[in-house]
Amino acid sequence: MTEPIAPGDHTAYMRLALSLSRLSPAQPSNYRVGAVLVSATSNTILSSGYTQELAGNTHAEQNCLAKLGGGGEVPAEEAVLYTTMEPCVRRLSGNASCVERILRAGIRRVFVGVLEPDVFVACNDGRAVLERGGVEVVRVPGLEDEILEVAMAGHEGRRRGHGVSDADADAAAAAAAASAGA
């Protein structure tokens, strides 16, 4: 088992979130992200989650909050969220964004490993929207390469570049599947 994490050891908590992200399915249609909700007061883990842990196209932060039960509200002053990637502010599916869920839950501090690459949504400004909502957003440096490697596993069939549409991604995935089968 892992050793207890020292209070305020943000890198260790981010590593825990990273280890959770590895449990997400690797596929071209999502990032693999992990999240951990911690009480800064008692240094206990309140909840955790990763991409598609719960049924459907679910995000790490969404699952982390959903698993809290109740209305998903956290003790406002004490809960801090660690997430490997900047929370989303828009979802192509029309579901509530993780930024909305974080604001609704009353979380005041969010630690992120990397800002979101613009594969799915150009110019994700989750950080800015959280900050406008009074949430402190803090980058935890040092794990970027590992986080992105895990997050984008399964994206090999996706064309590199900006603003790739779902249709483009599907076509790229189909082409990759066809060439893999040839």
Is 53 one of the annotated active-site residues of the chain? Answer: no
Which of 88, 107, 140, 151 lies at the binding interface for Zn ion (CB under 5 A)? 88
Q: What angle do CA 143, 103, 137 make, to 5 degrees?
A: 30
Q: How many residues line the site for Zn ion (CB under 5 A)? A: 3
Contact track, Zn ion, 96-115, x by CB under 5 A:
--x-----------------
Helices (H), 137-165: 144-151
Residue 5 or residue 154: which is nearer to Zn ion going by CB?
154
Residue 5 or residue 147: which is nearer to Zn ion going by CB?
147
CA gap 56, 13 in Å, rounded: 26
Nearest to residue 112, comparing CAs of 182, 10, 31?
10
β 109-114/79-85 pair status: parallel
Q: Which residues within the stretch 20-79 sit at the binding site for Zn ion (CB under 5 A)?
A: 59
CA gap 55, 108 in Å, rounded: 27
Give me the least distance between CB of 123 and Zn ion, in Å please.
Answer: 15
Residues marked as catalytic: 61
Please give the residue ranges that form the binding site for Zn ion (CB under 5 A): 59, 88, 98
